[in-house]
Amino acid sequence: MRILLAEDEFIERKAMRKFIEENFPAIEIVAEAENGRKAIELAEKTSPDVIFMDIRMPGINGLEAIEKINMGNPAIKFILVSAYDSFDYAKEAMRFGIKDYILKPGKKEEIVKAILRVQKEIEVEKIQQLERIQALGLRHERLITELMHAPLQESTLIMQKKLFPKMLSGCFLVVKHGSKLMVEGGLQRLGQAAATFQFITRQVEDIVVVCLLASTILQRSDVLQVARSLQQKIGDTVYIGIGSPTTVLAELPRSYEEAYEVCMQLGTDRKRQYGFLSLKKTGQKGEAILARIEAIIERGQQEEAIQYFQQYQDKLTLSDKEELYLRLKNGLVTRNIAPPSISFSSLKTNQDWHAFLHLCCSKMKGFYQSKSFIEQARNFMHTHFQEAITLENVAASVNLSASYFSNVFKQEFGMNFIEYLTMIRMQKAKGLIEENTYSLKEISFMVGYKDPNYFSRVFKKHYQESPKQFQQAILKK
């Protein structure tokens, strides 16, 4: 926590600083102000979490300074200090949500209690902010997942209107060999160009899918410039496929398909780092057709895969088909998915191939759905672990049956739901005990246990010592 001291009496100010530093070593005094004007300047420069504000100071008084500081940064908390026990001052201060009012000379217990109260309030606000960010992240992930696959549902349009009401156009980028963190950082550093659009991302294996959502009508030249700048910021190891921009939400899945296909082509050709899908539709031979079918299968789009195979099967040699068969099976195996038990020699007719492609698509689609659902469930558990959540609650949050969710969950994490939830709660409890801010009873409630005795038994089973023993061992260090 960062504190600014605003006090015109030099000795009083230094005494307060010494007291805080001796009793709260984790707290940083970022600045001292001898009057209200200086307090306003330093608050803007240092952005403290808390300001100890003397009411009576020369020039701009404490309440006037609070009003100006609050306009620029309403998140800052204030603890008023005054030699005057005036109800009018306290009443005026309440306009800014100030609850702590210390009379000079401040008693040590009052100062400690005031700091602990505001510290706890800041921690609670940070947790609530983190929960809001995590919840928004889940909604964004759900939206981009739905925008990647046609046909779009009515609920997708409603979600887009709620999350991005100013959207007028959009398109997809697919980045190969880049991490989600690198791509998001690169997009955020684009400067003025980034002001015209928002974006949501999703990591899938070694690619990052980006959906640009613009408040203007995107032109191909605009998106090309974004891709060029992004590639320069990330480096020459990435390939960026660009999908056509559109003003129609229902056409975004097609934009994703284009971006994915050209990204795979760029990675194979290694002639350029970014670009749109070639406008030439004729003359597609062997490798290009195989790459296209492979890309469609990886997205789990059954009807499109079969339709594309039908369209170009006459251009595929027996060797091409064998290569396609091996690629599809290897694509499943590398993801630890059991491939269809169909031999290449048994694929004699178009119907045989359609059945094989259908099975490959189903398996790939199930794989990505499971990954997505499990990640959403994991985030839900980390956000709501302090609540009385059950396997059924979490399964319902990702629209899966409890029995199916239980099986997939254990396969993914190597432990069942209760074991994983307990692990989250115990890790959080351990961290809270190490902070030494709350009582063990408070910690029990904070991590989801209403019975402190039961919490103690679970903690001992997990760490081989009781919460009390663990706390005492820390205090001895």
To the question of pTM greater than 0.85 for the whole model, the response is no
**3-state class (DSSP) for residue 79:** strand
Minimal CA–CA distance to 340: which of 358, 323, 318, 367?
358
Q: Kindly state which CATH superfamily the domain 2-124 is placed in.
A: Response regulator (3.40.50.2300)
Tell me the CATH number for domain 152-278.
3.30.70.250
Q: Check residue 3 and give its pLDDT.
A: 93
Token pair in block for residue 265: 């082509």
More confidently predicted of 286 and 68: 68
DSSP codes joined into one string, 430-474: HHHHHHT-S-HHHHHHHTT-S-HHHHHHHHHHHHSS-HHHHHHHH
pLDDT band at residue 466, thresholds of 50, 70 and 90? very high
- Give CATH 3.30.70.250 domain extents, the chain: 152-278
- Spell out the long-range contacts of 133-137 with Cβ–Cβ below 8 A and sequence spacing 24 or more: 134/379, 134/382, 134/383, 135/383, 137/379
* Size of the chain in residues: 477
Location of each CATH 1.10.10.60 domain in the chain: 419-476
Which token pair is 162?
Answer: 């709620």
Mean pLDDT computed over every residue of the chain: 85
Helices and strands (DSSP H and E) totals, the chain:
19, 10
Position 88 scores a pLDDT of 62
CA 215 to the chain's CA centroid:
23
Lowest mean pLDDT among 42-46, 355-359, 391-395: 391-395
Return the DSSP state at 102: E
Burial classification of residue 16, based on how many CB atoms lie within 10 Å of its CB (0-12 exposed, 13-18 middle, 19 or more buried): buried
Rounded to an integer, the average pLDDT of 96-104 is 70
Contact in structure between 463 and 423 (CB atoms under 8 Å): no
What pLDDT is attached to residue 138? 85
Q: CB neighbours of 43 closer than 8 A, spacing ≥ 6?
A: 4, 51, 69, 72, 73, 76
Q: What is the pLDDT of residue 282?
A: 37
User: Rounded to an integer, what distance in angstroms lies between the CA atom of residue 409 and that of residue 146?
Assistant: 22
Model pLDDT, residue 359: 92
CATH 3.40.50.2300 in the chain, residue ranges = 2-124
pLDDT recorded at residue 195: 65
CATH T-level fold of 419-476: Arc Repressor Mutant, subunit A (1.10.10)
Cα distances (Å, whole numbers) of residue 420 to 315, 405, 424, 425, 466: 52, 14, 6, 9, 20
